[in-house]
Amino acid sequence: MVSTKYEFIVNDIKKQINLGAYSVNEKIPSENQLALKYDVTRQTVRHALSVLVSEGYLYSKQGSGTFVAPQLKKRGNSKNIAVVTTYMSDYIFPRVIQGINKVLSERGYSILLKTTNNSRKGEAWCMEELLSKNIDGMIIEPSQSAISCQHQVLYEQMDSMGIPYVFIQGCYEAMLDRPHVMLDDVEGGRLITEHLIKLGHKNIAGIFKADDMQGIFRHKGYVKALTEAGIPYNPDLVVWYHTKDRTMRPLEGMIHILESGISCHAVVCYNDEIAADVIKGLTGIGRQVPHDISVTGFDNSLLAKGRGITTVSHPQEDMGRMAAETLIGLIEGNVSRKEAHILLTPELVERKSTL
C-alpha cells in the first residue's frame, strides 16, 4: 500500500529519531526546510509534524520551532506485539512461535512477525520499521548476539518510549540486565559432554558457533565438563564457525581433525542441524556413527528425533509461552525488569548416535 506524502514524512522522521540522527531536545529543520527536502507543501509538513507531536515524538515551542521529545510518551493500547526472530524455518522456531501465539491470542493480542536472517542489519531494519508502528511490546531473538550490538540506540529508544521488550534464545552481552527468557546453554553443553565422558570418551571434539551467545555458552559448558573430569582442554579439537560459513566450516573442521591424526571418537555439535550435517559427511568418508565416532546435537528438534541424534532438550513452546507471559507482565506492570530474567533447565536426550 502506497503511503501519502505526509505519512512518508512521519515515518522518515521517526526513523531518523530512532537511529539517533536527532538528539533529545534538538530542534528539527523548519517547515520551509522540510518542505524543500521532501518536495511538498508547508501544509503537508505541518500535518506530519502535528501527527509526530500527538504521538509524542516531537514537541513545539511557540516562536522557537519543533524539538525531539526528551521522553516519548507510550502509545495507546494497540494490542499489537512484535516478534522478531532470526529465521522462520521448520527447525525449532515454529513451536516457539506457537507458545507465544497461544498466550497472546488468549489475551487478545495480535502478532506482527519479522525475520532478520540472523543479520544485525536486518534486525535494525526490522526494529526501525516496527518502531514506526503502534505496538505495545516486542519479543526479540537477537542476531549474532556474541558480536557487539551496533544498534543499541534502538533499544534505548524503546526504553524512552516505554515499550517493553523481552529477549529470547540469547541476549547481547552488554544487555544481559534486560528482560530475557533463555535456555541454560552452559549447563546443556556440560550435560552433553559429560554424557560422552561417561561413555568412556576422552578426546572429544567440539563444534561451536562463534557469533552468538548460545555457541559461547555451550562451549563454556563443554570446557566445564572436561575440567570436572580432569581431561585437559585441547584447542586443536575445537572448531569455531560463523553464520556465513555454517554450511561448510563445521564438517571441514571435523574432517581436518580426523585427518590430522589426533585421536578422536566423539564430537559435541553446536546444534542438531550441524550434527546431522556432520553425520552425513562422516558417513560419506566411510566413518560409521556411532561405531567409529559418537555425534551429539543440541535442541531436540524434529531433525534429531527423526535421525536418532543424542541431543539436549529445548523447551520450545515453554520458552515462547514464558516470553509472552513475561512481556504481558511488563506491559501491565505486574513484573519488574529485574524479575524478568528466566533461565530454563535443559535435559539430556539419549538416542542411537552415541556409543
> Can you tell me the distance from the alpha carbon of 223 to that of 230, in angstroms, rounded to the nearest whole number?
11
CATH number at residue 32: 1.10.10.10
Residue 53 is assigned to a structural domain of this protein: yes
Which residues partner with 84 through β-bridges?
114, 140
Whether residue 73 is contained in a domain is answered as no
pLDDT in tens, the chain (355 residues): 446 899 899 888 987 887 778 888 899 999 999 999 999 999 999 999 998 888 788 998 888 899 998 755 555 578 999 999 998 877 888 999 999 999 999 999 999 999 999 999 999 999 988 887 889 999 999 999 999 898 888 898 788 778 999 999 999 999 999 999 999 999 999 999 999 999 999 999 999 999 999 999 999 999 999 999 999 999 999 999 999 999 999 999 999 999 998 999 999 999 999 999 999 999 999 999 999 999 999 999 999 999 999 999 999 999 999 999 999 999 998 888 878 999 999 999 999 999 9
The verdict on 322 and 302 lying in the same domain is: no
In this structure, is the dihedral angle defined by the CA atoms of residues 263, 267, 268 and 273, taken in order, positive or negative? positive
Nearest to 41 by CA among 4, 12, 15, 1: 4
- What DSSP state is assigned to residue 310? B
Range of the domain at 327: 80-184+316-346
For residue 187, what is its C-alpha cell?
Answer: 549447563
Q: 337 and 301 in one domain?
A: no
CATH number assigned to the domain comprising residue 321: 3.40.50.2300
Question: What is d(CA 100, CA 169) in angstroms, rounded to the nearest whole number?
Answer: 13
pTM for the full model? Answer: 0.81
**Omega before 290 within 30 of 0, i.e. cis:** yes
Crossing angle, helix 5-18 and helix 31-38, to 10 degrees?
A: 110
Please give the single-letter amino acid code of residue 77: N
Dihedral sign for Cα atoms in the order 349, 352, 354, 355: positive
Is 351 part of any domain? no
